[in-house]
Amino acid sequence: MRLLIMGPPGAGKGTQAKFIAEHFGIPAISTGDIFRANVSQGTPLGVEAKRYMDAGEYVPDEVTNRMVRNRIDEPDAEHGFLLDGYPRTLSQVEELDGMIRHTGHQLDAVVVLTVDQDEIVQRLLQRAQTEGRADDTEEVIRRRQEVYVEQTQPLIEVYKQRGLVHEIDGLGEVDEVTKRIFTALDVVPES
């Protein structure tokens, strides 16, 4: 299974990604989590990424692509993976196509979580209080949403044209949303 989960910041991708990945026995790979781990360990990648993350901007494609390429080359991703937070730009879509083609497999499905803007800001401000993420201030949240609409939302159309998209209503209880995703994905054949 090779899956993507997409949706605006705060849509609940990370939460759902864990359940989906567990169900299929594949790793959930979150670029945001990998960047944050590098930032807290003070690695050169973290130092570079932090400047962009704190401003709500995307880390340059070259840096992100290299990181994802290395991660999906690891043995645990050999039989599949769920990517959360990647691809986020058209150039990343092309890179990912190349990476997957190289393994002789294909992308199976793209889960798109849809949520309303106001709900999202509320969720993110709440997360700011509980998790204390540096990029969860109101100004940065707004910038992340703009960047998402400009750069990432158009990718959904690309994947729709490939017939891969399952749009899922992201509003409601966490397990309700998970159920909707499973119902949608169970019709996807294993590759």
Q: Classify residue 175 by burial, with Cβ atoms within 10 Å: 0-12, 13-18, 19+.
A: exposed
Choosing from 2, 50, 88, 166, the residue that interacts with ligand ADP (CB under 6 A) is 88
Output 69 or 188, the one with its CB closest to ligand ADP. 69
142 is catalytic: no
Tokens of 159: 């994947």
* 159 is a site residue for ligand ADP (CB under 6 A): no
From 69, 127, 143, 179, active-site residue:
127
Q: Which residue is at the shortest CB distance from ligand ADP?
A: 32
Is 5 an interacting residue with respect to ligand ADP (CB under 6 A)?
Answer: no
Binding track over 38-77 against ligand ADP, x by CB under 6 A: --------------xx--xxxx----x-------------
Q: Is 123 a catalytic residue?
A: no
Cβ-in-10-Å burial (0-12, 13-18, 19+) of 186 comes to exposed
Site for ligand ADP in 116-145 (CB under 6 A): 135, 144
Strands (E), the chain: 2-6, 28-30, 81-84, 109-114, 165-169
Active site residue: 2, 50, 71, 144, which one? 144
User: Does 12 participate in binding ligand ADP (rule CB under 6 A)?
Assistant: no
Q: In the block, which residue shows the tokens 């990945």?
A: 21
Q: What is the DSSP string of 13-27?
A: HHHHHHHHHHHHT--
Cα(40)–Cα(55) distance, integer angstroms = 17
Q: What are phi and psi of 29, to 5 degrees?
A: -110, 110
Catalytic residues: 13, 88, 127, 133, 144
Q: In the complex, which residues of this chain contact ligand ADP (CB under 6 A)?
A: 9, 31-32, 35, 52-53, 56-59, 64, 85-86, 88, 92, 135, 144
